[in-house]
């Protein structure tokens, strides 16, 4: 796989991980139900984005004929 793409996907996952961690902290600390629900949506969206980044990496690996490594992100 193109090394530049690998680096970009890795950077994206790191950034999404930071967003996810902060959204989870916010969700845990909020008292108001409506605010907690919005934070929960942030958590779900960050998880979905991380999953999408992983799918992109796997599709690129498949397209280039490389063996998929499901443990690497």
pLDDT digits 0-9 by tens, 44-66 = 999 999 999 999 988 888 888 76
pTM: 0.77
The tokens for 71 are: 């443990």
pLDDT of residue 70 exceeding 80: no
Structural domain spans, the chain: 3-64
pLDDT score of 8: 92
pLDDT of residue 71 exceeding 80: no
The DSSP call for residue 68 is: P
49 burial type by CB count under 10 A (0-12 exposed, 13-18 middle, 19+ buried): middle
The DSSP call for residue 67 is: P
| Beta carbons of 44 and 52 less than 8 angstroms apart | no
């Amino acid at each position: 796989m193109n090394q530049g793409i690998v680096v970009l996907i890795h950077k994206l996952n790191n950034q999404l991980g930071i967003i996810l961690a902060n959204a989870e902290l916010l969700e845990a600390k909020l008292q108001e139900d409506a605010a907690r629900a919005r934070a929960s949506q942030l958590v779900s969206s960050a998880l979905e984005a991380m999953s999408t980044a992983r799918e992109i990496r796997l599709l690129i690996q498949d397209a280039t004929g490389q063996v998929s490594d499901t443990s690497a992100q």
